[in-house]
């Protein structure tokens, strides 16, 4: 299923392993800081609802995000970066994140192409590590 502005990858490992590999690769990068983690499945369970495993991790690098917000502050709606790890109805584990290049269209960013390319490459690398055996 294609969703405009969202990049989705299929993991070759379990949900828990995918999430832990993602968390570890972010945590071990001195340029990145984990800001929050949300366990949507646990939140659903807390109100007696069911949800397949679904977690999101929010992290950032102010050296890259701040110049984008100097260009247009509404990009702060999409920062810090977020990566969603979830297991779909068929049991397939996926990671999904906002395509940084889509932010140009969404927020009317007119500068900082190099920063957006750098963020795009970093997200691709982080998620590739997360989904690998």
Asked whether 53 and 41 are in contact (CB, 8 A), the reply is: yes
Supply the pLDDT for residue 3: 87
Does the global pTM surpass 0.85? yes
93-97 average pLDDT score: 98
Domain positions in the chain are: 6-131
pLDDT digits (tens, 9 = 90+) for 6-54: 999 999 999 999 999 999 999 999 999 999 999 999 999 999 999 999 9
Residue 110 in this model has a pLDDT that exceeds 90: no
As a CATH number, domain 6-131 is: 3.30.310.70
- If 0-12 CB within 10 Å is exposed, 13-18 middle and 19+ buried, where does residue 85 land? buried
Distance CA 46, CA 54 (A): 14
Asked whether 111 and 72 are in contact (CB, 8 A), the reply is: no
């Amino acid at each position: 299923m294609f969703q405009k502005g969202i990049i989705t990858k299929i993991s070759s490992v379990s949900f828990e392993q995918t999430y832990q590999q993602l968390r570890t690769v972010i945590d071990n990068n001195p340029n990145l800081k984990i800001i929050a983690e949300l366990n949507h499945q646990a939140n659903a369970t807390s109100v007696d609802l069911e949800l397949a495993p679904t977690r999101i991790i929010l992290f950032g690098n102010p050296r890259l995000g701040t110049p984008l917000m100097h260009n247009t502050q509404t990009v702060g709606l999409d920062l810090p970066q977020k990566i969603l790890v979830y297991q779909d109805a068929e049991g397939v584990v996926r990671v999904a994140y906002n395509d940084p290049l889509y932010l140009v269209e969404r927020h009317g960013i007119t500068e900082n192409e190099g920063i957006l390319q750098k963020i795009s490459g970093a997200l691709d690398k982080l998620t590739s590590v997360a989904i690998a055996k």
